[in-house]
Structure 1
Amino acid sequence: MEEQPKLFTREELKSRCTRKDAVLIIHNEVYDVTKFLAEHPGGEEVLLEKGGQDATESFEDVSHSSEARSLMEKYKIGDLVEADRVQSKNAFAPQWSNDQAQEQGNAWTSWLTPLLLGVAATILYRYLFA
């Protein structure tokens, strides 16, 4: 049987913003980032500034990599209680994917349009100035 995650209220988390006890709320999940403060590439100040608060918007604004997102999982300590959860706005919903086949499929289309425009410009130039 799967263990239920520990539930927290925003009220009980709001004071947890020190170097000895720092938590963040991201997408209604609670992360204890105390041990990660020194390792965070953006510096501990960035995490402490949002300590005890919902950091979803700030987290998504930075466009963290899929590696950073998977690293987060080891710091997860629970979820917000249902009454304190915020509906995810599309702008802040997780938008990552490890589907490399899809990324590679889109890669060739990114250079196809400029290539075709270049060929068309060359043909037009030769026609007008020949």
Structure 2
Amino acid sequence: MKIILFLIALSFAPVASAVTFGDAISFFTGLGEDFWSLVTIETPSMIERFFAWVLEIMVVWKFQALLSSTKLAWSVAAVILADMQLGSQLNSLIGFLPNDVQAAMVQLRIMDAIELIIQALVARFALDMVQ
């Protein structure tokens, strides 16, 4: 047992003899520099990272709100278009035209284009109302 204690003490002997007063001063100076770095560099950086994180969360929430409002606006536009019965109204209006013009409009799919444009306008109106 004494031999083990002697070997342990012997292994620390070079370390104890190598530590000088200058090394202790350097150690405490390093501690002071580390503390000063914590106060002047790390803490402001941490505060900046925190505010960047808050801003990031707010941007994500805003995009989620915009997505939800867009879905709401699209559902409103779909209800408006279903209530308008656009296809039947266009078919009744095209019935007043001459047969040649009706055939040309069907061949050129002008009625589908008009219906698509009106749907886009209604959807845009609904989106503008929500946002």
TM over 0.5: no
* Structure number with bigger Rg: 2
Superposition TM-score, scaled by structure 2 size = 0.31
Higher relative contact order (CA 8 A, sep 6+): 2
Of Structure 1 and Structure 2, which has the larger fraction of its residues in helix?
A: 2
Superposition TM-score, scaled by structure 1 size = 0.31
